[in-house]
């Protein structure tokens, strides 16, 4: 039976670390790191996410700001809101909650964010720094995957890592982070021939697909570390992209859903906000 990789506990450890380092930062610089969330419209799920990001930010001793725009806001209004926070020295991180409602185009909005405040890590400058392995802000969920591997001392250097999924927000960045730590990385997707043959090679298997319980035990190498990024709402409740029951019989270590990668995302957002504050004051 696989060891459980506990994301809830690991996210608490990250938040404790951020809280203590944020306190040191405040006493060294006199500046309290700040994060602003920008929400356009009143989507209930987005409201919950934004509220919990605000609460967590305050819990670690950082400043939290929130900018609420109506669903009727124009593209110009959303963009000028971002520009205003770019110019506001109280905030080190700007998070635009996605998706934007209606016909609003998120791409130019995200590209307007000052890269030094890009705590989501989606700005092309941040993407370029990630590709080039230069210091910068990394996307939160992929960074959370790496934090889990480190915390559970899962060897990455030289490991065969297989990432299922090639999205810009999870699959590609997690593959790059694994590569930069010298894993031998394979990225798979919906056109991959004989997926199971590829996944069975993985010492580290990351599933970021968005298909409930698609990765079954017979697709996993005995003893592998399985990181399930998937969050799927089904009639049976919240499930991952990995079939936990069969996978945990074969894997050496595995993340549950919920309680695996999910809680890591906000923790890494807080870590990025502190990192942004540091980088902004040393550049």
Give how far Cα 78 sits from Cα of 70, 72, 208, Å.
10, 10, 30
Out of 114, 120, 228, 243, the active site residue is 120
Shortest separation between residue 73's beta carbon and ligand NAP, angstroms: 25
Shortest separation between residue 24's beta carbon and ligand NAP, angstroms: 28
Cβ atoms of 35 and 53 closer than 8 Å: yes
Shortest separation between residue 188's beta carbon and ligand NAP, angstroms: 6
Based on CB atoms, which residue is closest to ligand NAP, 83 or 196? 196
Based on CB atoms, which residue is closest to ligand NAP, 253 or 261? 261
- Ranked by CB distance to ligand NAP, the top (closest) residue is 167
- Rounded to 10 degrees, what is the CA torsion of 113, 116, 122, 128? 120
Q: How far apart are alpha carbons 101 and 277 in whole angstroms? A: 30
Out of 97, 114, 228, 241, the active site residue is 97
Is 107 labeled as catalytic in the residue annotation? no
Give how far Cα 236 sits from Cα of 44, 213, 232, Å.
22, 12, 10
Give how far Cα 149 sits from Cα of 154, 155, 178, Å.
5, 8, 10
Beta bridge partners of 34: 63
Is 120 labeled as catalytic in the residue annotation? yes
Based on CB atoms, which residue is closest to ligand NAP, 73 or 164? 164
Q: In what order do the strands lie in the sheet with 3-4?
A: 3-4, 253-254, 225-228, 204-207, 160-164, 184-188
Based on CB atoms, which residue is closest to ligand NAP, 191 or 235? 191
For 240, residues 6+ apart whose C-beta sits below 8 A from its C-beta are 207, 212, 213, 228, 229, 230, 231, 232, 255, 256, 257, 260
- Rounded to 10 degrees, what is the CA torsion of 119, 123, 125, 127? 90
Based on CB atoms, which residue is closest to ligand NAP, 169 or 253? 169
Question: What residues make contact with ligand NAP under the rule CB under 6 A?
Answer: 141, 164-167, 169-171, 188-192, 195, 208-211, 229-232, 261-262, 265
Shortest separation between residue 266's beta carbon and ligand NAP, angstroms: 8
Name the DSSP letter for residue 254.
E
Q: What residues act catalytically? A: 53, 97, 120
């Amino acid at each position: 039976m696989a060891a459980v990789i506990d994301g809830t506990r690991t996210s608490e450890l990250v938040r404790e670390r951020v809280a203590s380092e944020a306190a040191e930062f405040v006493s060294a610089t006199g500046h309290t790191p700040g994060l602003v969330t920008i929400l356009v419209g009143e989507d209930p799920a987005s409201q919950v996410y934004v509220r919990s990001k605000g609460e967590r930010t305050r819990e670690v001793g950082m400043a939290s700001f929130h900018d609420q725009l109506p669903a009727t806001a124009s593209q110009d209004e959303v963009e000028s809101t971002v520009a205003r926070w770019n110019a506001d020295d109280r905030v080190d991180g700007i998070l635009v909650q996605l998706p934007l409602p209606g016909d609003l185009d998120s791409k130019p909005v995200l590209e307007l964010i000052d890269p030094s405040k890009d705590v989501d890590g989606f700005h092309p400058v941040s993407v370029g720094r990630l590709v080039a392995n230069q210091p910068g802000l990394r996307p939160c969920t992929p960074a959370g995957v790496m934090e889990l591997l480190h915390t559970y001392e899962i060897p990455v250097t030289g490991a065969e890592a297989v990432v299922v999924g090639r999205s810009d927000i999870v699959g590609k960045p997690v593959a790059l982070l694994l590569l930069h730590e010298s894993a031998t990385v394979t990225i798979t997707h919906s056109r991959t021939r004989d997926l199971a043959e590829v996944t069975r090679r993985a010492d580290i298997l990351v599933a970021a697909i968005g298909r409930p319980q698609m990765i079954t035990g017979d697709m996993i190498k005995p003893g592998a570390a399985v990181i399930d990024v998937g969050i799927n709402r089904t009639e049976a409740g919240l499930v991952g992209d990995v079939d936990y029951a069969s996978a945990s019989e074969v894997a050496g270590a595995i993340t549950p859903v919920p309680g695996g990668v999910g809680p890591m995302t906000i923790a890494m957002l807080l870590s990025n906000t502190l990192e942004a504050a540091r980088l902004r004051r040393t550049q």
